[in-house]
Amino acid sequence: MSKEKNPILKHTNGLSLEEVNGTVEVPKGKSFWRTLLAYSGPGALVAVGYMDPGNWSTSITGGQNFQYLLMSVILLSSLVAMLLQYMAAKLGIVTQMDLAQAIRARTSKALGIVLWILTELAIMATDIAEVIGAAIALYLLFNIPLVIAVFITVFDVLVLLLLTKIGFRKIEAIVVCLIFVILFVFIYQVALSDPNWGEVIKGFVPTHETFAKSPAIGGQTPLTGALGIIGATVMPHNLYLHSAVSQTRKINHADEEEVASAVRFTTWDSNIQLSMAFLVNALLLIMGVAVFKTGTVKDPSFFGLYEALSNPATMSNSLLMGVAKTGLLSTLFAVALLASGQNSTITGTLTGQVIMEGFIHMKMPIWLRRLVTRLISVVPVMICVMLFSGKGVIEEHEALNNLMNNSQVFLAFALPFSMLPLLMMTNSTAEMGARFKNKKIVQLLGWIAVIGLTYLNLIGLPSQIEGFFGDNPSAMEITTADTIAYLLIAAVLALLAWTIIELYRGNKRVAAANAELVEEEFSED
């Protein structure tokens, strides 16, 4: 009798994250706080993406260059994130499909493959930032050579394998603990700096100067600083992830009240966790203003920030100077960086599984999925380290920082293709039902957010492409970069039009199928 084959790569078209879907029990008829505790967790997995290493330098540099002017951008970005994540969670709970599954069910196979590749590139771009962040943290904490540190990041797959054995609820708890580590580090550093809280609060009110094209400080204007913060905050993979992990709670979908309760408590969880992410990003910007003397952070890379935190001369007051001498500030910064990288590892892998299963109906073991993605992401980092290692420490550090910043260009491509379908589907009665479709005010705010973010991402594309040519590109290189950017913008707009047309037709099919079902039930009665 031959053994049954168990292929590594399998075809699947089942529930989203099937191993954990509907596995977490929630209490019935208990107090608000007891019920909220049972629903708490998925929001933390999502919030991780809003405080990953990609956010750090943009917020700190924004504070160094423009004081508290960009605080309002962090606030607006966080509010938009809350709105989009609410829609994503609601889509998952009501339709019992994640965003990738919902898009694929209403579009053609060809478009599904294109969107899958685009989203994979965005995840790999995010992973490059995680590799760089984790490798640098290992280098700073343990003096491990960067080449070896990069290789060590591959072995976080073993940590992930261990986590898959202990249960999803414990994974959520670990992520929450790591978030609190990050939060503690920055609260401690900001508390020592004693910032001007009146100016902080004033910074939350946007003015015409917030998005101005001048003055330019350190090669950055308020507009480019704002675009950097927005680009590092709202990421496409978080929408796919939330629509999947929101389905881990066990509820009776035949009971509309129970579904409504799940949406309500999941929204509370999401908003609380995203408020923590907002607090982290706000603390990072305050660090740039209050922890360091204005203009002293010349190098906004992780290396530069670590060195600045260990240098009493860059500190803004005598208390910070004394602590900086001990090396505590810089060590805590590196610990927070490592915690952030490990958090992103967990959520990035889950998202990769969601989009692969949703878009192309293929499934592989979670450890293999992580290993493949990480190995691909390690390649450009290794090439970068090896090319610049012989040219000096400063050149190596600058090259890694530029690689991390340039890799984020893929996020600008992928974001509209997650936001727009999400908004269209949650606006639809056919998809969500009359009770759960977006209210008029949510629809209005949704369209403003989606159009605004798409515009800002695309308008910032020329400068991002110029970044591939170094800090001082020639006139010819700028022209080349702008030409490439405009061709890419045209391609994005064409692909968006294709996506909208197919989703519109798909929605019509769903509406027609629903009408037929109602008619059949009526005729049977």
Where are the domains positioned within the chain? 32-416
Determine the Cα–Cα distance for residues 260 and 253; give it in Å rounded to an integer: 10
Q: What's the confidence (pLDDT) of residue 12?
A: 64
Residue 378 phi/psi, 5-degree rounding, is -70, -30
Q: What's the confidence (pLDDT) of residue 7?
A: 61
Runs of H (alpha helix) within 143-235: 146-154, 156-166, 168-193, 197-203, 222-233
Token pair of 305 as six digits: 């920030």
Tell me 16's DSSP state. Answer: T
Helix (H) or strand (E) holding 11: strand 10-11
**Measuring CA to CA, how many Å separate 402 from each of 88, 310, 334, 474?**
32, 23, 19, 17
- Burial tier of 446 (Cβ tally within 10 Å: 0-12, 13-18, 19+): buried
Determine the Cα–Cα distance for residues 431 and 480; give it in Å rounded to an integer: 44
- Report the candidate in 280, 220, 219 with the shortest Cα–Cα distance to residue 55: 280
SS3 content of the chain, % helix, strand, coil (to 5): 80, 0, 20
Whether 437 contacts 426, CB under 8 Å: yes
Cis omega (within 30 of 0) for bond into 215 = yes
Strand ranges for 344-469 from DSSP E: 362-363
Tell me 248's DSSP state. Answer: G
Whether 96 contacts 329, CB under 8 Å: no
Longest dimension (CA), the chain: 82
Positions of the chain with pLDDT under 70: 1-13, 54, 157-164, 218-219, 390, 392, 408, 471, 518, 521-525
Q: What's the confidence (pLDDT) of residue 440?
A: 95
Q: What's the confidence (pLDDT) of residue 8?
A: 61
Determine the Cα–Cα distance for residues 227 and 222; give it in Å rounded to an integer: 9
The separation between the first and the last C-alpha atoms of the chain, rounded to the nearest angstrom, is: 52
Whether 401 contacts 223, CB under 8 Å: no
Q: What's the confidence (pLDDT) of residue 204?
A: 93
Q: What's the confidence (pLDDT) of residue 350?
A: 81
Q: What's the confidence (pLDDT) of residue 234?
A: 79
- Single-letter code of the amino acid located at 264: R
Counting every residue, how long is the chain?
525
Whether 135 contacts 377, CB under 8 Å: no
Whether 135 contacts 152, CB under 8 Å: yes
CATH topology assigned to domain 32-416 = Hydantoin permease (1.10.4160)
